[in-house]
Amino acid sequence: MGNYGTHIDAKWQEKWEESKLYKFNKNKSGEKLYVLEMFSYPSGSNLHAGHWFNYGPVDSWARFKRMQGYNIFQPMGFDAFGLPAENYAIKTGIHPKDSTVKNIETMEKQLRAMGAMFNWENEVITCNEDYYKWTQWLFLKLYEKGLAYRKNAPVNWCPSCNTVLANEQVLDGECERCSSEVTKKDLTQWFFKITDYSEELLQKLDELDWPEKTKAMQKHWIGKSIGAEVTFKMADSDLSFDVFTTRADTLFGVTYVVLAPENPLVDKITTEHYKKDVEAYKEATKKQSEIERQSITREKTGVFTGAYAINPINGRKVPVWVADYVLATYGTGAVMAVPAHDERDFAFATKYELPIERVIKGGEGLPYVDPGIMVNSGEFDGMNSEEGRDAIIAKLERESHGTKKINYRLRDWLVSRQRYWGAPIPVVYCDKCGTVPVPEDQLPVKLPYEVEFTPDGKSPLAKCEDFINTTCPHCGAPAKREADTLDTFVCSSWYYLRYADNKNDKEAFNTDIINDILPVDKYVGGPEHACMHLLYARFINKALRDMGYLNFDEPFLSLTHQGLILGPDGLKMSKSKGNTISPDDYIKEFGSDVFRMYLMFGFDYTEGGAWSDDGIKSIGRFIDRVERILDSCRDYIKDPKNSKDSMDKLEKELNFVRHSTIKAISEDMDKMQFNTCIARIMEYTNALSKYINEESKNPTFLKESLIDFIKLLAPFAPHFSEEQWSLLDMPFSVFNEKWPIFNESALVKDEVEIAIQINGKVKGRINIPSGLSEDEIKLAALASPDTQRNIAGKDLMKVIVIKGRLVNIVVK
C-alpha cells in the first residue's frame, strides 16, 4: 500500500481552505465559467454514490477548465423545503426543521470530504429565512406583473401526498413523488402564468447546448399547434361556439361536432328529450382521468344533445354530440369531427353510425389522416392540404367565421401546496380589501415552528392561530393569511441567481453582479427535471428579465445529464430498498481520489450503470503504482548532470505518448468522457515506467514529462496530485498551473510500422522512416526478408501501397 489516503485528503483540503485557493473573484484574470450541479435535497439517507457521480466528475471537469485559464464559479447548496422532511416528521415526530438542519450538516461534511472546489462561501439553503424571504419577494413581483394569479379550477390532487400537484408533477396519471393515482378536485389555487412565455420558451430551445432529447421533451410539453378557430352557430338559437382545428382543410368533411362534457354550453343547448342522458354521461365522465380519456385504443363513448349547429363553410346542419374524448382543458373544449380523416372521429362515427365523408384524396382506406389533395370541397377542390388550409382560413376570416389560431399544450404552473414545509405565500385576505399582497418591507412571512402538520388535505398553517390571524396591511382590520405554501420548484427556480450574491440582505440579488456571473455556462444534473425544474427556471429567468432585474435570456447555456448509478441489484438507489451505496467506507479505505477516479473510470458519464466495486481495488493499485514510479525518480531528476538537449529514440517514444495524451485528454474532457481520459493516463503511466527502467535517462526531459503527467492527473486525483506536486518541490498549487498544450511535431513519428500482405494475408511487418514516397515504400517492402521468403518462385503481379498502414503484394 502506498502513502495516499484520507490523511493526504485532509492535509490538502485544509491547505486549500486556508489559502482560499478556490474563492471566486470576478476580477481575477480569465473568462468566468459558472459550473453548476443541481443542488441536493437534504435527505436522511445522506449522500450516496449517485451524488458523487454527479459532483465528483463535474468537479474534475471544472478543475481542468480552471487549469485552462477559466475563472471558475462552482457553488453548492441545498434544496431544503419539501415533502420528504415533512413525511419523515409525521413518521418519527422529529420536526422537519430539525431533521433538515441535521441532514444538511452531515451532507456538507460528506461533500467537503470530496474535496471539490465548491464555493462554500456562496452556499444557499432554501429553507432559511434569508433565502425564502426572497422567494416570497419573487412571488410578489410576479403578482405585481399579473404573472401570479388565483383561480378556481379542476386541479390534480394526490390523495397520498394530500396536496395539489402541478401538471408537470403528474406522470402518466400518477404522482411524480409517490406514484399514487392522481385525481381531480375543484379548488381555488395560485398559478404562475408560464403560458405567457410559451413561444419564447419554445423558440429559444434551439439556441441551447442541451441534449436533443431533453429539448424535444420540452418542445413536446409546450406543444405548439398551428391551426384555426372556427365558429359554428347553433341552428335554432343565437348561441355559437368555436372549435380548434389543425386541419381547416377538412372543414367540408365535418359530419358532426363534439363538446367536452364540462363545456358550459352543453346545458344550454341540450334539448328536453336528451337532458337525462346527457346528465348521466356528464356524471360518468367525472370518474375518468384525462389519461384514460385521451387513450387512442379505449372504446369511444358519447351522447347526442338533440341540437344542431351550422358548418360555416357550406351552411350544412350537423348534430352536436357530447363525448369525453374531447377535453375541456385544451383548445376551446369543442371539436369539429371529420371521421374520414381522424382516427378518433372515425371510431366514434362508426360506433354511432354517423356519416363519414372523404374530402382528402390519398390512400385507399379510411380514415386517411395524412395531407393530400382536396375533393368534395367546392371551390377548394384540387388544392393540396396546406394551400387549402390557408385558403379556407382566409375565407373564414373574411366572413368573420373564424381566425388563425395557435394553441399550446402548456398550462399555467400551479404553485400552491397544502403542506407545511415550504415558503408561505405572502398574501393576506381581508373582508374589506380582498386579496392583499404582504408589503415587501414586511417580508419574510415567517414559517412558524409550532405547527400541527399531520396532513388531512387542509393546509397545516390554517390550523395555526398565531400564523393565520393577522391584520390587513392595507386597512388594519383583522384579516387571514394565505395558509398554502409554495411548491418547492419555486424555491429552486431561482437559486442559481442567489448563489452569486447570497449575502445580500437588501435585495434578492444585485443586478450588476448577476449580469456579470450569469448565465450558468455548464449545468449538470438528472434528466428527470426536463419538464419541471428546467422549464420553470427558464420561465422565471425570462420574467425577471422583463422586469429589468437581469439582462440575459436563458439561465443554463449548456446542459449535461449524468447517468444514474443504480444499486448493485440494478434498481434505483433508495433507502427503502436498502440498496444505497454510501461513499463513506470506500473513502475511508481508499481515499477520496480513488473513489472519484473509480466512478469516472468504471462508468460512462452519461450512461451510469449498476454499482459494482470490482474495479475500485485496481484503481487503488494504480495510484500506488504511480506513487512508486514518482518516488523512484525524484532524486534522479534533481541532478541534471546526465542531461542533454537532443532526444534519441527512447525519448521520442515517451514524448509521443506524452503529447498524444495531452491532446486526447483535452478533447475528451470537453465531451465529459472521463473514462477514456483515465485510460489515457494509464497509458502514459506505462510509457513512463518503461522509460524509467532504461539505462540512459535524461533527467531534464524526465522531469518535464513528470510535470506534465502530474498536471494531467490533477483534475482526476486532486489531493494525490497536489501532494506529488509538492514532493517535486513545485510551488503551491498545481491548480494554479496552466494545462499542458500538446506539441503537434511530437505527434509525428519518425518511423512508422507497416504491415506487409501477400495476397491479402499479413505475412510480416517492417519499420520504415515516415515520409517515404510510394515507390520507396514498395522497394522497402519487397526487400524485406519476410517478403523474399514468401514470394520466392512466384510471379509478381501487383504491389498496392496504402500509406502509413500497409503494402499488399499480389503474386501468382
Nearest alpha-carbon partner for 455 in 775, 106, 164: 164
Residue 314, CA atoms < 13 Å, CB-side half-sphere: 14
Identity of the residue, 187 or 752, whose beta carbon is nearer to Zn ion in the bound complex: 187
Among positions 591-620, residues that touch Zn ion (CB under 5 A) are: none
Q: Of Zn ion, ligand ANZ, none, which one does residue 195 interact with (CB within 5 to 8 Å by kind)?
A: none
User: Contact with Zn ion (CB under 5 A): which of 89, 161, 393, 464?
Assistant: 161
Q: By C-alpha distance, which of 22, 127, 139 is closest to 85?
A: 127
**102 is known to lie in a ligand binding site:** no
Quick check: 90 binds Zn ion (CB under 5 A)?
Answer: no
Q: Is 158 in the site for Zn ion (CB under 5 A)?
A: yes
Identify which of residues 16 and 256 has a Cβ nearer to ligand ANZ in the complex.
Answer: 256
Q: Please, what is the minimum distance in Å from the beta carbon of residue 229 to ligand ANZ?
A: 10
The secondary structure of residue 520, as a DSSP letter, is B
Q: Are strands 608-610 and 796-802 parallel, antiparallel or unpaired?
A: unpaired
Selection from ligand ANZ, Zn ion, none that 175 binds (CB < 5 to 8 A by kind) is Zn ion
Cell of 84: 420528504
Stretch that binds Zn ion, among 168-176, 374-382, 476-484, 741-749 (CB under 5 A): 168-176
User: Taking CB within 5 to 8 Å according to partner kind, which of Zn ion, ligand ANZ, none is near residue 59?
Assistant: none
The least CB distance from residue 368 to ligand ANZ, in Å, is 9
Smallest separation (angstroms) from ligand ANZ to the CB of 252 = 11
| Binding at 225: pick from Zn ion, ligand ANZ, none (beta carbon under 5-8 Å per type) | ligand ANZ
**Shortest Cβ 251–ligand ANZ spacing (Å):** 8
Nearer to ligand ANZ, 259 or 534 (CB): 259
Q: Which does 161 bind (CB under 5 to 8 A by kind): Zn ion, ligand ANZ, none?
A: Zn ion
Residues binding Zn ion: number (CB under 5 A)? 7
Residue 158's binding partner out of ligand ANZ, Zn ion, none, with CB under 5 to 8 Å set by partner kind: Zn ion
For residue 355, what is the enclosing H or E element? none
Mark residue 570 as left, alpha or beta (left: phi above 0; alpha: psi -120 to 50; beta: remaining).
left
166 binds Zn ion (CB under 5 A): no
Residue 404, SS3 per DSSP: strand
Q: How far is the CB of 158 from Zn ion (least distance, A)?
A: 3
Q: Is 175 in the site for Zn ion (CB under 5 A)?
A: yes
Alpha helices in 158-298 (DSSP H): 198-203, 212-222, 265-269, 275-286, 290-294
Q: DSSP class of residue 299? A: P
How many alpha carbons lie under 13 Å from residue 326 in its C-beta half-sphere? 28
Q: Coil, strand or helix: which one is 609?
A: strand
Nearer to ligand ANZ, 293 or 463 (CB): 293
Smallest separation (angstroms) from Zn ion to the CB of 165: 7
Q: Is the Cβ–Cβ distance between 395 and 219 less than 8 Å?
A: no
3-state secondary structure 201-240: HHHHHHHCECCHHHHHHHHHHHCEEEEEEEEEEECCCCCE
Cβ 409 to ligand ANZ shortest distance, Å: 7
3-class secondary-structure state, position 163: strand
At closest approach, how far in Å is the CB of 364 from ligand ANZ? 17
For the chain, the helix, strand and coil percentages under 3-state DSSP, each to the nearest 5: 45, 20, 35
Bridge partners of 486?
Answer: 416
Residue 306: which region, alpha, beta or left (left: phi > 0; alpha: psi -120 to 50)? Answer: left
What is the rounded distance in angstroms from the CA atom of residue 693 to the CA atom of residue 629? 10
Strand order in the sheet with 751-758: 761-769, 751-758, 806-811, 796-802
Question: Could you give the string, one character per residue 442-461, with x where binding to Zn ion holds by CB under 5 A and - elsewhere?
Answer: --------------------
Nearest CB to Zn ion, comparing residues 180 and 376: 180
Which H or E run includes 478? strand 478-481
Q: Smallest distance, Å, CB 419 to Zn ion?
A: 11
Residue ranges that bind ligand ANZ, judged by CB under 6 A = 225, 244-247, 250, 260, 326-327, 330-331, 333, 335-336, 338, 341-342, 407
> Cβ closer to ligand ANZ: 355 or 478?
355
The site partner of 21 among Zn ion, ligand ANZ, none (C-beta below 5 to 8 Å per kind) is none
443: cell is 417580508
Interaction partner, residue 726 (Zn ion, ligand ANZ, none; CB < 5-8 Å by kind): none
Q: Determine the Cα–Cα distance for residues 487 and 536; give it in Å rounded to an integer.
A: 11
Do residues 718 and 118 touch, judged by C-beta distance below 8 A?
no
Among 90, 178, 239, 800, binds Zn ion (CB under 5 A): 178
Q: Indicate the residue among 119 and 255 with the shorter CB distance to ligand ANZ.
A: 255
| Minimum separation from the CB atom of position 407 to ligand ANZ (A) | 5
335 binds, among Zn ion, ligand ANZ, none (CB under 5 to 8 A by kind): ligand ANZ
Contact at 8 Å (CB) between 138 and 192? no
Residues tagged in the binding site annotation for ATP: 575
Under the rule (CB under 5 A), what is the footprint of Zn ion?
158, 160-161, 175, 177-178, 180
Residues tagged in the binding site annotation: 575
